[in-house]
Structure 1
Amino acid sequence: MNAARDEEPGLSLLVHQPGEEPALLHTGLASLEHGLPIGPDTIFNVGSVAKQITAHLILLSASDNLLQLGQRAADLLPRLKISDVTVADLVTHRSGIRDAESLLSLAGFRDLDHYTADDLRTLAYRQDQRAVPKDRFLYSNTNYLLLAEILETVHRTTLPDLVRHRVLGPLGMHSTRFKTDPRQVIPGAASAYQATQHGWQHTETPVTLPGPGTLWTTVGDLDRWLTHLHQHWQHPHQLPWQEAVDYEPSDHEPYLYGPGLYADARPGRTAVFHYGHEQGFSAAAHVEASGLRVIALSNNAGLSTDRVTAAILRDLHEQPMLPPKEVLLRAATLERIPGTVVRTQPILDDRDRHTEIGTFTCDQALGSLQLTSSAGALHLWRRGTRDQLTPTGPGVHVGNGYTLTIPSSMDQVDRFTLDLDRAPGLAYIRQ
């Protein structure tokens, strides 16, 4: 390995061929401050990879007759206003419920602000209609936050206790845990970093998705989970747990989505997988119908485990005689993602040079947004920070991760619609 990269945050990789011992490779540092190298016992935040475990607990609860997948989620969550959403809709991201973290971002949360699961659930319960048509896929972390609440309701215990009793203990995943409080200390955990012009910078903040989005684990423990998943992949012509939950088209063609898993159901490619991205951490967990498992965990914001995993799988399939250890070495030397160096610049307080258009609120989101114009450009303000919008068509303007549509003349803006990737159709009205 490159000596300079050995002094950077890095990767923990695992390839497990059916009937063979797993091949592992660990590169870089878990802690830059203390010079601690990444090893087999280093614990990473795997973000949305945890969804498959949460979904598995829902399926177990259904088999125990504690709930039904087809029942209304509102039967178990009395505060939920969208009455026709089922438990299965939450599992497969077909509830149409907007992502609460995206909604909170509109309030202008700052780096050191903190929110709780209750804050996010409150935003979920403000929503009174689907943001997309029924049965349309809309990836939303809020679905799994609500599933966690359902699990805690029907089992009368906390999600961490439930997953420890039903999954982690039986599978020997003793290094794995849910982190429900950002202040909680996890022994052996890596820190996540991103590169800046002035050196490395921590990416973790007190803001974190409580519960099902904060699973911390090792490559070895994830391999135990994927082994369990494959053992229950009973029908070679079916995807895991497909007899309980159908896989349907997702937001990434040609992949399907089912119980917390994306699936490639094409002949000769059959596999299920999920990626996770959380505060500079990156994770990928992939298992094929043959039993091949590939896991990649990173604490470097410039290393995408999506790309690393794709490189590993390409070599394994195209060069089957290549030793797995060599495959991992090749993948670990992939170039960093272009443009991942963060260039921090001060935000100029130039509001006095802007013409006020109006202040707007939405009953589905917290806080207010302001529109101004300056030098012929439109700007959106939230809690003292602003985005300059780029016009892309009549009344249509694009910002950082969203589209703003003004149905009326710019001379008198009374309302606009804000479409975020995971929270579309937000109607803002002038105060």
Structure 2
Amino acid sequence: MNAARDEEPGLSLLVHRADEEPTLLHTGLASLEHGLPIGPDTTFNVGSVAKQITAHLMVLAARDNLLRLDQRAADLLPRLKISDVTVVDLVTHRSGIRDAESLLSLAGFRDLDHYTADDLRTLAYRQHQRAVPKGRFLYSNTNYLLLAEILETVHRTTLADLARHRIFGPLDMHSTHFKTDPRQVIPGAASAYQAAHHGWRRTEVPVTLPGPGTLWTTAGDLDRWLTHLHQRWQHLHQLPWQEVVNYEPSDHEPYLYGPGLYADALPGRTAVFHYGHEQGFSAAAHVEASGLRVIALSNNAGLSADRVTAAILRDLYQPTLALKEALVRATTLERTPSTATRDQPTPDDLGQHTELGTFTCDQAPGSLRLTRRADALHLWRRGTCDQLAHSGPGLYAGNGYTVTAPSSTDQIDRFTLDLERAPRLAYARQ
């Protein structure tokens, strides 16, 4: 293994075949500041891998007659204005509710700005109609923030306590915690890093969003969870919780999505899985019908756990390659280079822009400005300026979004902005 990479943030990997002992490999540092290596007790933020835990708790709540999965979510969330959304719509990302963190990005939130889960739920409650047609998949972390609120309402306790008593404790997952406060100390926690021009920088921000993410755990604890999931799978001879939650087409064909899990129905290698990316951490948890479990946890923003897992799975089906060698090979993937910071406009630049107006949307916070410089449109949010690339009649591409506006930019009174997880935002001139 490259010795230099032992001084970088790295990986915790686990492969567990049915009826065999798990094989683990840890590489890199959990803390660059203290030179602390990643080991079996290192805990990582696994991001959206948490969704399967939240969905599992929802199914248990339905089994305990605390709610019905086909019940209107508004019965349990009086502030929710979209009246025909059901609890299972939230579980399977078919509510049409936009992702509230994506909405916050339009207000120009910066990396170290603080906001809470309730701030994001408030944005969800401003939405009065689905952003996509009923029944269509729209992946949105806000769905799982609302599910966390439902669970806390019907159980009259916190999601963290509920998960500890119903799942983590019984499965001996004693290193697993939902983090509910940015100041909370997580034992054995790794720090996450991104490569910078001169060394490394930390990537954590002061935000915790238990429900859709902010779950801290170890590879060993996740293996205990996947073992439990597989035992249920074997017992019922169908995908986990498929008897109560349908798996339907998702945003990543040909994969299906069910109770917080993607499903790959590949004949002979049927699997359920989820990936997570949060604050520089990434995670992958994969279990197949055969009982094979693959777990990858990364605290290196340039080393994505889903890519590592895909590499391990490819190698595992090469009969001449030893398991340990497959894990070592996965650690040698090329890192994704860090994204350069965009230059901010200078006062001289601003003088060359023609103002087109300030615009607001009742579904999103803050306001946006449009300017024109020469033949190019620019969109401004809290001092950040994106030059929009003209991609077709009335279509302009920005930094992770598209704008649909009149073909002529001489006068713009309204436009539609589409983010991947927050589409169809109608902006009008103030």
1:340-355, aligned counterparts within 5 Å? 340-344=337-341, 346-349=343-346, 350-355=349-354
Matched-pair contact (CA < 8 Å) for 1:234–1:240: no
1:399 and 1:209 map into 2 onto residues whose CA distance is 27
Shift of 1:171: 0.2
Partner residue of 2:363?
364
Question: Which stretches in structure 1 are left out of the alignment for 5+ residues?
Answer: none
Partner residue of 2:302?
302
Matched-pair contact (CA < 8 Å) for 1:369–1:381: yes
Matched-pair contact (CA < 8 Å) for 2:91–2:143: yes
Residue 56 of structure 1 aligns to a residue whose secondary structure is helix
AA paired with 2:367? S
Partner residue of 2:260?
260
Matched-pair contact (CA < 8 Å) for 2:179–2:208: no
Shift of 1:390: 0.4
- The reply to whether residue 409 of structure 1 matches residue 405 of structure 2 is no
Shift of 1:318: 2.5
Q: Which deviations, in whole Å up to 9, do the C-alpha atoms of 1:298-319 show, x marking residues without a partner?
A: 0001101111101111111222
Shift of 1:408: 5.7
Change (3 A) 1:345 1:412: closer
1:70 and 1:342 map into 2 onto residues whose CA distance is 43
Shift of 1:351: 1.8
Partner residue of 1:209?
209
1:209 and 1:409 map into 2 onto residues whose CA distance is 42
AA paired with 1:39? G
Q: Which deviations, in whole Å up to 9, do the C-alpha atoms of 1:284-309 show, x marking residues without a partner?
A: 00000000000000000110111110
Matched-pair contact (CA < 8 Å) for 1:181–1:210: no
AA paired with 1:113? D
TM-score, length-scaled by structure 1: 0.97
Aligned-residue CA RMSD (Å): 1.2
1:35-50, aligned counterparts within 5 Å? 35-50=35-50
Partner residue of 1:25?
25
Partner residue of 1:70?
70
Partner residue of 1:281?
281
1:212 and 1:403 map into 2 onto residues whose CA distance is 26
Partner residue of 1:423?
422
TM-score, length-scaled by structure 2: 0.97
Matched-pair contact (CA < 8 Å) for 1:196–1:344: no
2:184 and 2:387 map into 1 onto residues whose CA distance is 37
Shift of 1:210: 4.2
2:87 and 2:400 map into 1 onto residues whose CA distance is 29
Shift of 1:334: 1.5
Shift of 1:21: 0.5
Percent same amino acid among aligned pairs?
83
1:123-272, aligned counterparts within 5 Å? 123-234=123-234, 238-272=238-272
Range with greater deviation from structure 2 (308-317 or 252-261): 308-317
Partner residue of 1:108?
108
1:73 and 1:236 map into 2 onto residues whose CA distance is 28
Change (3 A) 1:70 1:132: same
Shift of 1:237: 5.2
Question: Which stretches in structure 2 are left out of the alignment for 5+ residues?
Answer: none
